[in-house]
Structure 1
């Protein structure tokens, strides 16, 4: 059975900013059908907002077209779950990260992949391991 995986917003952002990096490799592994990608409207909204920051757009030459293409691909080809599971209080230091946990719970994920220290510090949530991208790629045997 294919792994069901939630990629944190920071993985997508890193993929756009550094196309040769490990997050981009993880994204390509999804495009190569090596795992089932779970996302939610809240994650997609956060991604659009983050890539909309003027300083990021200027520094990395991010256009509306780049953002629209990425969001569109995710909406069409990833498994979009509601992401409304009650995870309130799971990450007191940064409640905005809880959207990733809600997506994982609702989507019955096998893994959460993140570069966020608040999420990684949890190590797992409701039995779902939270791992950095390098460990995920090793698990997929890509590195």
Structure 2
């Protein structure tokens, strides 16, 4: 399961998050997502500060939403207690991962990464995930 920050970074700035996003597109793993996370991703990308990057890459948000929904498995989020992480929005990530029985959470969020795992689901950086993907 990909955290919103990995998707945004991968789409707009490249680097390792871009390779993770491309691996999902290439169906090297099954990306999971909830409707609320899809909405959050689109809302984040719609911020004014990203307009120039989106235009430069000719990314249409409506098209992106349809492609992302088609490429990912939509799951029902699990109930996750609040207070586990500092940022309440991170609870959505954990709820998606547990609800979708994710093998990994890929994130660049320091609060999530400090958990190391949640409900026996490892929380990895893009680099750690790509390493595991290429060396199963």
- Structure 1 length-normalised TM: 0.86
Structure 2 stretches lacking a partner, 5+ long: none
Corresponding residue of 1:71 = 65
Structure 1 stretches lacking a partner, 5+ long: 1-5
Corresponding residue of 1:124 = 117
For the aligned residue pairs, the C-alpha RMSD in angstroms reads 1.8
Corresponding residue of 1:137 = 130
Corresponding residue of 1:94 = 87
Aligned equivalents of 1:12 and 1:38: distance in 2? Answer: 12
> Is the strand fraction higher in 1 or 2?
1
Aligned equivalents of 1:42 and 1:64: distance in 2? Answer: 24
> What count of residue pairs does the alignment treat as equivalent?
134
Corresponding residue of 1:113 = 106
Any idea what the Cα deviations from partners look like across 1:33-85, whole Å, max 9, x if unmatched? 21111111111111011001112213x144895222221112112101122x2
- Runs of 4 or more, structure 1, over 6 Å off, are none
Q: Confirm or deny that 1:36 pairs with 2:17.
A: no
Aligned equivalents of 2:50 and 2:58: distance in 1? Answer: 12
Distance 1:121 1:76, change over 3 A: same
Distance 1:28 1:61, change over 3 A: closer
Aligned equivalents of 1:99 and 1:43: distance in 2? Answer: 7
- Structure 2 length-normalised TM: 0.90
